[in-house]
Amino acid sequence: MTVSHTLPEAPAKPADAVLRPHAEDAFAAELAALAAQDDRPRPERWRLSPWAVSLYLLGGTLPDGTVISPKYVGPRRIVEVAVTTLATDRALLLLGVPGTAKTWVSEHLAAAVSGDSTLLVQGTAGTPEEAIRYGWNYAQLLAHGPSRAALVPSPVMRAMSEGLTARVEELTRIPADVQDSLITTLSEKTLPIPELGEEVQAVRGFNLIATANDRDRGVNELSSALRRRFNTVVLPLPATPEAEVDIVSRRVDQLGRSLGLPVEADGMSEIRRVVTVFRELRGGSTADGRTKLKSPSGTLSTAEAISVVTNGLALATHFGDGVLRPADVAAGVLGAVVRDPAADRVVWQEYVETVVRERDGWKDFYRACREVSA
């Protein structure tokens, strides 16, 4: 982890050449407009007041008519708690199943609060302690011995010394001993460097946003000492079927176009069906709220629904008549639901026999399901 940090005011490449610009660059105009009109008190080294940060995330209109686009569509409460947490000296932990915009929210929070979303540590099973504390430039170290010049600071260390927001992605994938090196940073707000007999003390404005996946298997559970340093916010799955169908069809459309797949208007009914199946199984009851259901062990996130539909679309295009049909999605749905061959299969069959079979207009889907699960 070396420092190849590009300063925002000196971009090496024009912004439109980049495949995906940082949040603070993509929405620079909105941030500037907010900063200009924000007259509320700002915590030290914050670019905006907490109120303006939540407006930036949730969207709205400024007094002068500037429209702020919504970055996060979801409960207002969640954004408010997240922003308020950053304003206190507690770290923020965003939890949620894959595909609930954790990283997206964390990036935009950092961009709005500190104007810099790039102080990022990506958590992996192989993330070393150096990525969270500091490393050494060994050429320097050998030539001149230990000194600040030979030290390579981690993003967290830079955020501490400059009073910015650091981000840790996938915190629970980081090995437990490496995770725990965050404890001192978060509780004492200091990072000792024993080799030099020095320490780096966090200046005001420093805080940390971590994201973690709460349904992934094989994660390294946070120690309770570390957990206690965080305020936890769980990002929920889309609240209404309409919102979810909308997200899925939009993403499928984007993906389909890049894969050269056409999207039929008829496909909407299958998308609606997949979303309904996913929501019902995930939520443990039918959409009309009349029948309870067992939930399978898989997450059945919106992201998975997207991949099921995309997959079905590919099947329909290359092997079918180009129209998305129940048979094209049934196998995908089965694969997403039955993760554990024993327990999930019962859940699925019960669902097929008690819900799908009875539902009007689902007969073809029922047949397709029986065919693939036989």
Partner 1 sequence: MTTSPAVAERAAAERAATAAAVRGPLLLGVRHHGPGSARGVRAALDAAAPGVVLIEGPPEADALVALAGHESMRPPVALLAHAVDDPGQAAFWPLAAFSPEWVAIRWALGHGVPVRFIDLPAAHSLAMAAQEKAADAGEEEAGPADEAAGGEGTHEAPDVERTDGPAAEGLRVDPIAVLAEAAGYDDPERWWEDAVEHRGRAEDPLAPFAEVAEAMTALRERYGDGGHRRDLVREAHMRLRLRAASKEFGEFADGGGVAVVCGAWHVPALASKAAVAADKALLKGVPKVKAELTWVPWTHRRLARTSGYGAGIDSPGWYGHLFEAPDRPVERWLTKVAGLLRQEDRTVSSAHVIEAVRLAEALAVMRGRPLAGLTETVDAARAVMCEGSDVPLALITDRLIVGDALGEVPDDAPAVPLQRDLTRRQRALRLKPEALERDLDLDLRKENDAARSTLLHRLALLGIGWGEPTAGRANTGTFRESWRLCWEPELRVRVAEAGIWGTTVLAAATARAESAAVSATALVEVTGLAEKCLLAALPDALPVVMRALADRAALDADVGHLAQALPALARYLRYGDVRGTDTAALGEVARALAERVCVGLPPACAGLDADGAEAMRGHVDAVHTAIGLLPPAGDGEDSGDGQDAGGGEGGLPGRWAAVLTKLAGRESVPGVIRGRAARLLLDGGRLADGEAARLMGLALSPGTPPADAAAWIGGFVGGTAGGGMLLVHDEHLLALVDTWLTGIPAAAFPDVLPLLRRTFSAYEPGVRRTLGEVVRRGPGGGARPAVESTVPGFAPGIDAKRADAVVPLLTLLLGRETPAPPSSDSLTGETS
Residue closest to 314 by CA, chosen among 331, 337, 300: 331
Q: Closest distance between partner 1 and the C-beta of residue 234, in Å?
A: 4
**Total site size for partner 1, rule CB under 8 A:** 40
If the CB atoms of residues 228 and 250 are measured against partner 1, the closer one turns out to be 228
Query: Cα–Cα distance between 132 and 122 in angstroms, integer?
Result: 10
Stretch that binds partner 1, among 19-27, 115-123, 178-186, 288-296 (CB under 8 A): 288-296
Stretch that binds partner 1, among 12-20, 177-185, 195-203, 344-352 (CB under 8 A): 344-352
Q: Closest distance between partner 1 and the C-beta of residue 198, in Å?
A: 29
DSSP result, 33-86: HHHHH--S---TT-SS-HHHHHHHHH-EE-TTSPEEPPS--S-HHHHHHHHHHH
Q: Any contact of residue 342 with partner 1 (CB under 8 A)?
A: yes
CA of 127: how far to CAs of 66, 175, 252, 347, 365, in Å? 42, 7, 33, 37, 45
Q: Closest distance between partner 1 and the C-beta of residue 101, in Å?
A: 15
Matching residue, tokens 């909105």:
30
What x/- string results for residues 220 through 259 when contact with partner 1 is judged by CB under 8 A? ----x--xx--xxxx-------------------------
Among 26, 357, 359, 372, indicate the residue that binds partner 1 (CB under 8 A). Answer: 357
Residues 265-284 that bind partner 1 (CB under 8 A): 284
Q: Any contact of residue 87 with partner 1 (CB under 8 A)?
A: yes
DSSP 352: I
Q: Closest distance between partner 1 and the C-beta of residue 358, in Å?
A: 9
CA of 215: how far to CAs of 99, 255, 298, in Å? 12, 25, 8
- The separation between CA 123 and the C-alpha centre of its own chain, rounded to angstroms, equals 13
Q: Any contact of residue 350 with partner 1 (CB under 8 A)?
A: yes
Q: How many CB atoms are located within 10 Å of the residue 140 CB?
A: 15
Among 33, 47, 54, 68, indicate the residue that binds partner 1 (CB under 8 A). Answer: 54
Query: Cα–Cα distance between 102 and 236 in angstroms, integer?
Result: 10
Residues that bind partner 1 (CB under 8 A): 50-51, 54, 77, 80-81, 83-85, 87-88, 90, 93, 95, 224, 227-228, 231-234, 284, 290-294, 342-343, 345-346, 349-350, 353-354, 357, 363, 366-367, 370
